[in-house]
Amino acid sequence: MKIVLASGSPRRKEILENMNLKFDIIKSEIDETTIEGESPEDLVKRLSYEKAHDVATRNSDSIVIGADTVVVLDGNVLGKPKDKEDAFNMLREMSGREHSVITGISMLCLDLKNEVSDFCVSKVKFKNLSDEDIYSYIETGECMDKAGAYGIQGLGGLFVEYIKGDYFNIVGFPISSASEIFKNYFNIDLLKLNKGRFS
């Protein structure tokens, strides 16, 4: 059965490729607006489902994967920064503190009438950051398309004191949770898929 990733994220693409999965990429075009009073967990589950469903309506015979990641500090969702000033303010707020990274993941196959949505939470603590460090990081340009204004898999990893939970969730795709959904709902075992791969 064909698998489709409803995301243009190069990080999600790389994580799935590392699992030796064959898949197509069809980016969803949904409106990613928030709903007042919606919890971060409900937000990422809803958006991941809407992304997957948007693509699944045109690929009903495929397993379509949607994902959405947010950074949460003091109960507030930090999205992608609007500009350099916004990025600075986010990073300054997170300096020396622990925040949450929450990723919603949905997998749908409309022909099979099979749908599942879940979310994963990881904790990240930043070191105490100087303004100079923050400005230098912003000037690399890495932060501008990332939720919370940093990428842990890149130079943003220099800011991290510790993490609790799934590292890949912080990158943007909790592959461990995804593997359970593949196995339990779609009868795809990623370990068996890779049997003998490194021998």
User: What is the C-alpha separation between 181 and 176, in angstroms, rounded?
Assistant: 9
User: What is the C-alpha separation between 116 and 181, in angstroms, rounded?
Assistant: 8
Mean pLDDT within 15-43: 92
User: What is the C-alpha separation between 138 and 87, in angstroms, rounded?
Assistant: 7
User: What is the C-alpha separation between 47 and 159, in angstroms, rounded?
Assistant: 28
Q: Which of 66-70, 120-124, 144-148, 184-188 has the lowest mean pLDDT?
A: 144-148
**How many domains does one find in the chain?**
1
Q: Residues with catalytic annotation?
A: 68
Mean pLDDT within 119-126: 98
**By the 8 A CB rule, do 147 and 69 touch?**
yes
The verdict on residue 143 lying in a domain is yes
The verdict on residue 10 lying in a domain is yes
The verdict on residue 198 lying in a domain is no
DSSP letter string, 59-114: -TTSEEEEEEEEEEETTEEE-S-SSHHHHHHHHHHHTTSEEEEEEEEEEEETTTTE
The verdict on residue 199 lying in a domain is no
What's this model's pTM, rounded to 2 decimal places?
Answer: 0.92
Mean pLDDT within 21-41: 91
Task: Indicate which CATH number applies to the domain containing 144.
Answer: 3.90.950.10
The verdict on residue 133 lying in a domain is yes
Phi, psi of 192 (to 5 degrees): -65, -35
CB 47: neighbour CB atoms within 10 A?
24
Which DSSP category does 128 fall into? P
Range of the domain at 86: 3-193
Nearest to 178 by CA among 2, 5, 57, 53: 5
User: What is the C-alpha separation between 193 and 150, in angstroms, rounded?
Assistant: 33
Mean pLDDT within 117-121: 97
> How, if at all, do strands 3-5 and 160-164 pair?
unpaired
Bigger pLDDT: 138 or 29? 138
The verdict on residue 156 lying in a domain is yes
